[in-house]
């Protein structure tokens, strides 16, 4: 089930909301049980077999939790982590591994495609964090119901954040959060609607240009590639930002504040700064459960750089089963190392220049992230920097046409061409997107005033989005 669907917005969400607060009044456990059941229904929309697999994973990990509590055994902890990683590899990476084995050893093994369980990358890391924290003695007084709710809580289920138990469960135990908070409802709805608008009206529009570009790579001109690259950079920004806003807004309805997972990353002045703003929960998880256990920066300079590279290669692998993701992670890791080495001279560079260098690298890396293969990415980068053709395909820029603009120009007696109208729409769209990325504070930082003006804007945006739900598209991070 997706946040941008009628069944979720008009059915599951209001039923979950009403049931949660109605039952919490009678007994706290009833409300938690209702929320856990709602989360499992949300997950069941991906398929009953997928739900059964998820439940089996929950039960198996909780059994490991019980053994770890009793024995405090590092061996049992290691077995639990290995089992989770094996399941993740089987469902997400088996095809990739078989493909590379066939290419390397000239074999012809066949691996049948397996349905990827919804959010498996997210709930695997979440359960690993639970096992580690249990070993450290931090989860000893939580019940099985609380454990199930922590893992399956539907606002964070599909795309995160990768929250820790201390981020969520104490809030579910807080009696003050068991009554309806109309201020949180107002803020939650506004943040949710703004996120929905980002996804449907901005990210999906940009996605049409990106899809056309990658469906016609051999025919692209140099300028086309720059447009497609920038469009994907903005698409993944508004897609992921939109999801983060929607998840935070939904959770606020239940008086639960999710950890901030997105903080205007394109304002970053370095790659280090970028990763403090983009997918913050993933960065925090890898730092706490991978980088620090490897020794962090405590074992010398060379070991620090190796640890950094390991963390970012794992981040790349986590995102997907393709060499493009592995190289993407390695490139980000290498830039992190370079920034650490040359931090002092780099930080003295004029700030706009640092921003441009960072943003250009992010664009080129995102192109690799989206490419079907490393070879395709390299071909596109080479062609982009060749600047051989300054023209653009009309089919690409026509994605940005503004409805009825030509009629207005005709009535006003202003001469125009179809290509000129399309380019105007494209430039306007990209400039507005860049303005939103770079100038205002993000939704979670702003003070959302509950007045008639914000109510009117929220209602208008919601109606526009609701009328656009006929063509539901998945979020990009659903694939990871």
**Which residues form the catalytic set?**
319
Query: In 3-state terms, what secondary structure has residue 408?
Result: helix
In 357-459, the DSSP E strands lie at none
**143 within 8 A of 150, measured Cβ to Cβ:** no
- Token representation of residue 76: 């049992």
137: region left, alpha or beta (phi > 0 left; psi from -120 to 50 alpha): left
Angle at alpha carbon of residue 280, lines to 279 and 283, rounded to 5°: 95
> Alpha helices of 221-261 — where are they, by DSSP H?
222-253
Query: In 3-state terms, what secondary structure has residue 392?
Result: coil
Half-sphere exposure for 243 (CA within 13 Å, toward CB)? 25
Q: What sign results for the dihedral spanned by CA atoms 268, 271, 276, 278?
A: positive
Distances from the Cα of 266 to the Cαs of 206, 233, 238, 316, 360, in angstroms?
A: 17, 10, 11, 19, 10
Helix (H) or strand (E) holding 192, with range, is helix 182-197
**433 within 8 A of 202, measured Cβ to Cβ:** yes
Q: Residue 407 forms beta bridges with which residues?
A: none
**223 within 8 A of 267, measured Cβ to Cβ:** no
CA distance linking residue 224 with residue 229, whole number of Å: 8
List the one residue out of 208, 198, 187 whose CA is nearest residue 242.
198
Distances from the Cα of 133 to the Cαs of 54, 151, 289, 307, in angstroms?
A: 21, 14, 10, 22
Query: In 3-state terms, what secondary structure has residue 447?
Result: coil
């Amino acid at each position: 089930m997706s946040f941008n669907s009628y069944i979720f917005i008009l059915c599951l969400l209001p039923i979950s909301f009403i049931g949660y607060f109605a039952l919490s009044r009678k007994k706290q456990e009833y409300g938690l049980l209702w929320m856990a059941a709602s989360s499992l229904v949300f997950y069941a929309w991906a398929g009953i077999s997928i739900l059964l697999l998820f439940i089996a994973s929950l039960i198996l990990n909780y059994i490991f939790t019980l053994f770890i509590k009793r024995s405090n055994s590092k061996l049992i902890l290691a077995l639990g982590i290995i089992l989770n990683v094996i399941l993740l590899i089987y469902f997400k990476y088996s095809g990739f591994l078989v493909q590379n084995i066939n290419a390397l050893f000239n074999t012809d093994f066949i691996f049948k495609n397996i349905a990827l369980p919804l959010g498996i990358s997210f709930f695997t890391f979440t359960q690993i964090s639970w096992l580690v924290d249990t070993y450290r003695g931090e989860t000893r007084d939580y019940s099985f119901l609380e454990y199930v709710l922590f893992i399956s809580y539907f606002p964070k289920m599909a795309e995160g954040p990768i929250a820790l138990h201390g981020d969520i469960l104490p809030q579910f135990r807080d009696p003050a959060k068991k009554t309806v908070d109309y201020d949180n409802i107002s803020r939650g709805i506004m943040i949710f609607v703004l996120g929905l608008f980002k996804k449907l009206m901005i990210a999906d529009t940009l996605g049409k240009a990106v899809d056309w570009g990658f469906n016609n790579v051999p025919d692209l001109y140099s300028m086309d590639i720059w447009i497609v690259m920038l469009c994907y950079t903005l698409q993944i920004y508004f897609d992921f930002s939109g999801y983060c806003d929607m998840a935070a807004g939904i959770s606020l309805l239940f008086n639960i504040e999710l950890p901030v997972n997105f903080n205007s990353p394109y304002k970053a002045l370095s790659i280090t700064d970028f990763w403090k703003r983009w997918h913050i929960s993933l960065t925090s998880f890898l730092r706490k459960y991978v980088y620090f256990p490897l020794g962090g920066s405590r074992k010398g300079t060379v070991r620090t750089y190796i640890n950094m590279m390991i963390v970012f290669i794992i981040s790349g692998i986590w995102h997907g089963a393709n060499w493009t993701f592995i190289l993407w992670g390695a490139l980000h890791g290498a830039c992190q190392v370079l920034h650490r080495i040359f931090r002092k001279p780099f930080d003295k560079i004029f700030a706009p220049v640092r921003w441009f260098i960072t943003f250009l690298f992010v664009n080129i890396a995102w192109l690799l992230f989206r490419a079907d293969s490393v070879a395709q990415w390299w071909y596109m980068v080479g062609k982009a920097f060749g600047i051989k053709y300054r023209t653009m395909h009309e089919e690409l820029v026509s994605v940005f046409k503004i409805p009825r603009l030509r009629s207005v120009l005709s009535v006003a007696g202003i001469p125009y061409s179809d290509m000129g109208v399309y380019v105007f729409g494209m430039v306007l769209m990209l400039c507005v997107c860049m303005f939103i990325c770079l100038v205002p504070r993000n939704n979670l930082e702003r003070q959302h005033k509950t007045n008639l003006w914000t109510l009117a804007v929220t209602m208008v945006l919601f109606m526009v989005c609701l009328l656009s739900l006929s063509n539901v598209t998945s979020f990009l991070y659903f694939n990871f």
